[in-house]
Amino acid sequence: MPTEVIMPKVDMDMASGKLAVWHVSEGEEVKKGAALFDIETDKAAMEVEAPATGRLHHILAAPGETVDVGRPVAFIYAEGEAVGASPVAVEAPKVEAPAPVAAPVAPGADPMILAPDSADLRATPVARRLARQAGLDLAAITGTGPRGRIQRADVEAALARTKPAPVVEAPLVAKAPVAAPAAPITWEPQPGDLNVTTRKGSGVPLVLIHGFAADSYGWRPLEDALPKDQALIRIDLPSHGRSPLRRVAGFADLAKQLVQVFDRVAEGPVHLLGHSLGGGLALALADIRPRQVRTLSLIAPAGLGPEIDGAALNGIARAGSVDSLAPWLKRLTARPDGISHDFAKAAMLARLDPALREAQQELAAVLFPDGVQAFDLTAALSRIAMPTLMIWGRDDHILPWRQALAAPGEVALHLLRGVGHVPQIEDPATVAALIGRHLRG
């Protein structure tokens, strides 16, 4: 049996020692009592003597390595003793057991995601939860918090980067390719009760009001298609996106809450753009603050007729998983493949909070009781005088495009073929071109 050379305990409170240098090389002869290697402890450096005479083999610790007290660092074989395999299995580099992944990967999720969490990875609970639920690998995200900790904002930024443009059929895209996004945009939260973000730019800003169960992120494809210097103000409706959950008594109450925020964030004249419920609200806002609104753009606005696909609204508001959300999202587009799985996943990520879903269901019950639009904005539409543009998809399954015919003759109507309820996502280039012209007058 070879003699084990161990890391000695040379100090009362020493738990491990750092091997500084070997005085004897692998296979060399060594005499008992001769200097074999040096160690460095917290307090001192010292020489360790060979515990036996023979040849040194199986060096387990390289200079600079820290070894626990009592662990072998090499073996000394007596003269003539056969040198076999190392008596100690060389330890593989320490790898912590991967943290268990609590949520199963959503079916169809990319195989590259969900690599086991590295043990020394720092992430806040909310960052871990969001990454888990979105199927993002935390190890691939750079933390900007203290000591590299991954925070909520880091996961959201990573998600925004990976969030793919919705799958739209080639012919539509080929018509006018969407410009590649320019430099990363910095969004700044404005103080206020609702979550408001802005994009700096020149000229009169365009205020964006999203639809029911959507949020400001939904404007991204359109924003990329709009002129890069177009200033934007995006508002998350109550109980949507990053705005607080808030009880809403009815459409008028919702409009009132929006006006309060609008008055705070809109310093001068603005262009106004709303989609669906946000279209109805933009119309109401234009009616309440006519002097401040230069132009009004409405995409499939709510409030111009009683019909609406209440089942889809409730289904989206209620859905607690990608699998239950995706089928309803497919109703939004003209083509059933217009919403990719990744898009559904990203949409679900924005709706993880059960309280938010609860609040939106309540909102749906208030605004669309029994699957009916309980508010009528046709009078407002005939009152307003600013240049108004209306865009509607002819294959809109949520709000029938014929409601557009309620508009007076002064309103410019664009009824897009092969497009459903979300033209700004299905055909952002066309929508951006129409709105761009409209804003320029």
Partner 1 sequence: MNAQVQIDAQVRELSYAEAIREAMAIALERDPAVVLMGEDIGTYGGAFQVTGDLIDRFGPDRVMDTPISELGGAGVAVGAALTGLKPIFEFQFSDFAALAMEQIVNQAAKLRYMLGGEAEVPVVFRMPSGSGTGAAAQHSQSFEAWFGHVPGLKVVQPSTPAEAKGLLLAALADPDPVIVFEHKLLYKMKGPVPAGHYITPIGKAAVVRPGQHVTIVASAIMVHRALEAAAKLAREGIEAEVIDLRTVRPLDRETIIASVKKTGKLLCVYEGVKTLGVGAEISALVAESEAFDYLDAPIQRLGGAEAPIPYNPDLERAAVPQMPDIERVARQLAKGEV
Stretch that binds partner 1, among 10-18, 149-157, 373-381, 401-409 (CB under 8 A): 149-157
Stretch that binds partner 1, among 30-38, 237-245, 274-282, 431-439 (CB under 8 A): 237-245
**186 is an interface residue for partner 1 by CB under 8 A:** no
**355 is an interface residue for partner 1 by CB under 8 A:** yes
Measured from the CB atom, the residue of 150 and 281 that comes closer to partner 1 is 150
Measured from the CB atom, the residue of 164 and 189 that comes closer to partner 1 is 189
**Number of neighbours of residue 241 by Cβ within 10 angstroms:** 21
Choice from 144, 260, 321, 382 touching partner 1 (CB under 8 A) = 144
CB of 193 vs partner 1, minimal distance in Å: 7
Choice from 353, 405, 408, 410 touching partner 1 (CB under 8 A) = 353
**145 is an interface residue for partner 1 by CB under 8 A:** yes
**103 is an interface residue for partner 1 by CB under 8 A:** no
Measured from the CB atom, the residue of 47 and 193 that comes closer to partner 1 is 193
Choice from 191, 268, 409, 441 touching partner 1 (CB under 8 A) = 191
Measured from the CB atom, the residue of 126 and 139 that comes closer to partner 1 is 126
Choice from 124, 162, 324, 361 touching partner 1 (CB under 8 A) = 124
Measured from the CB atom, the residue of 78 and 103 that comes closer to partner 1 is 103
CB of 96 vs partner 1, minimal distance in Å: 21
**153 is an interface residue for partner 1 by CB under 8 A:** yes
**146 is an interface residue for partner 1 by CB under 8 A:** yes
Choice from 15, 45, 99, 126 touching partner 1 (CB under 8 A) = 126
SS (H, E, C) the chain: CCEEEECCCCCCCCCEEEEEEECCCCCCEECCCCEEEEEECCCCEEEEECCCCEEEECCCCCCCCEEECCCEEEEEECCCCCCCCCCCCCCCCCCCCCCCCCCCCCCCCCCCCCCCCCCCCCECHHHHHHHHHHCCCHHHCCCCCHHHCECHHHHHHHHHHHCCCCCCCHHHHHHCCCCCCCCCCCCEECCCCCCEEEECCEEEEEEEECCCCCCHHHHHHHHHHCCCCEEEEEECCCCCCCCCCCCCCCHHHHHHHHHHHHHHHCCCCEEEEEECHHHHHHHHHHHHCHHHEEEEEEECCCCCCCECCHHHHHHHHHCCCHHHHHHHHHHHCCCHHHCCHHHHHHHHHCCCCHHHHHHHHHHHHHHCHHHECCCCCHHHHHHCCCCEEEEEECCCCCCCHHHHHHCCCCCEEEEECCCCCCHHHHCHHHHHHHHHHHHHC
**189 is an interface residue for partner 1 by CB under 8 A:** yes
CB of 263 vs partner 1, minimal distance in Å: 17
Measured from the CB atom, the residue of 216 and 333 that comes closer to partner 1 is 216
Here's the x/- map for partner 1, 390-429, by CB under 8 A: it reads as: ----------------------------------------
Q: What CA–CA distance (Å, rounded) separates 438 from 230?
A: 13
**Number of neighbours of residue 287 by Cβ within 10 angstroms:** 17
Number of residues that bind partner 1 (CB under 8 A): 23
CB of 245 vs partner 1, minimal distance in Å: 8
**182 is an interface residue for partner 1 by CB under 8 A:** no
Choice from 5, 7, 36, 127 touching partner 1 (CB under 8 A) = 127
Q: Per the structure block, which two tokens stand in for 94?
A: 């320490």
The answer to whether 364 touches 373, Cβ cutoff 8 Å, is no
Choice from 47, 193, 229, 337 touching partner 1 (CB under 8 A) = 193
CB of 145 vs partner 1, minimal distance in Å: 5
Choice from 9, 18, 242, 341 touching partner 1 (CB under 8 A) = 242
Residues that bind partner 1 (CB under 8 A): 124-129, 144-146, 151-153, 188-191, 193, 195, 242, 244-245, 353, 355
